[in-house]
Amino acid sequence: MTPSGESPVDTPVVNVGAGPAGATAALLLAARGIPSVILDRRTTPLFHPAAHVVNARTLKIWHQYSPNLAANIVALSPAHEAVNLISWYGALADPVIGSIDLLSDPERKAHIHGSALVAADAAQRPTEDVVDYRSTTYPGARLPHARVVVDGKTILVHDVIEMTALTLFTFAGGRWQRLLAHSVVPSPGIVVVPLVPVAEEDRSSLVERFQVGESGAVLVRPDGHVVWRTSSPAEIATSQMLDTVRQGWGGSTPDHAGVEQCSSSAADSPLIRGVAYGTVRTRGGHAVR
């Protein structure tokens, strides 16, 4: 269909929507000589808030297309200290659906989200081509998407990542839990998530996606990026993992390591889910500390 008086447009690709996804798709297609058009219902800029949170993977794609584009977008964003409350609404006049107060616990936020903790990995770094993207658990990469069973429910792995601790994903949950339960776990604590496939026939593909075999583990930061990984069993690799965390987080091991507690102010935060510094817990099972 075309507006009255206009000629039809012959193009192999139509991007519906001129938001970040549609505009970025058009840029990447153009960079590879593939013509496309963007269809959007608006003819003027949108002035109410939209796409107010952009993740690291999006910024990486923009940077690969054009470092200047990524730098210009970053320059438009406010400082972290100025972003206080993020809220979700069905429409601007609707009641709030939910909110996250990013500054409810500034000290813990700075400690966890401000760390550059990424361990070295002997494996070859995967390709960075945004068109030929392959999921990986290489340290520094974002944890691949997958569905697992936790507490009897099917859930995405990104939905069980702890916001106030490091999350350890492993098929050998019991072994890692037992060893960590008898270790001094450094701040900010570790939550163990046993990887249970939705169906047994999905197990091999889930093992392949996490790239650490049946005995290894993948340690993930609150922002969803991989800190460290190993294909070695817990008996061999636990001490190495704990040393990595101590070095990456300034070597701090609080006096209350191993004690599960939260201050009253932290407990009121929607980011806090009962995980204190220096603790180890498990999702889909009983606490081991």
How far is it, in rounded angstroms, from Cα 58 to Cα 70?
A: 9
* Residue among 111, 121, 237, 97 at smallest CA distance from 163: 111
* Residue among 171, 160, 236, 172 at smallest CA distance from 209: 171
How far is it, in rounded angstroms, from Cα 36 to Cα 16?
A: 11
How far is it, in rounded angstroms, from Cα 183 to Cα 136?
A: 29
**pTM summary value:** 0.58
How far is it, in rounded angstroms, from Cα 288 to Cα 281?
A: 6
How far is it, in rounded angstroms, from Cα 275 to Cα 261?
A: 7
Res 204: pLDDT? 94
Res 278: pLDDT? 43
Counted residue by residue, the chain has a size of 289
How far is it, in rounded angstroms, from Cα 131 to Cα 34?
A: 13
How far is it, in rounded angstroms, from Cα 59 to Cα 9?
A: 31
How far is it, in rounded angstroms, from Cα 23 to Cα 54?
A: 14
Strand partners, 156: 147
The answer to whether residues 44 and 38 touch, using CB atoms and an 8 Å cutoff, is: no
How far is it, in rounded angstroms, from Cα 253 to Cα 121?
A: 24
Give the DSSP H/E element, type plus range, for residue 127. none
Q: In Å, what is the CA distance from 106 to each residue of 54, 83, 132, 164, 248?
A: 20, 12, 38, 12, 19
Burial of 116 (0-12, 13-18, 19+ CB in 10 A): exposed
| DSSP E strand stretches across the chain | 13-16, 36-39, 85-89, 96-101, 147-150, 153-156, 166-170, 190-194, 217-220, 226-230, 280-282
Find all residues with CB under 8 Å of 194, minimum gap 6, and list them. 170, 171, 173, 174, 282, 283, 284, 285
How far is it, in rounded angstroms, from Cα 225 to Cα 206?
A: 18
pLDDT tens across the length of the chain (289 residues):
455 556 677 889 999 988 888 888 999 999 889 999 999 988 887 766 666 677 777 877 888 888 888 888 878 777 656 666 777 777 778 888 877 666 665 554 554 455 555 666 666 666 655 555 678 898 888 899 999 998 889 999 999 998 888 999 999 999 999 999 888 888 778 999 999 999 999 999 999 999 999 999 999 988 888 989 999 999 999 999 998 888 876 544 433 333 222 222 322 322 222 233 344 555 654 333 3
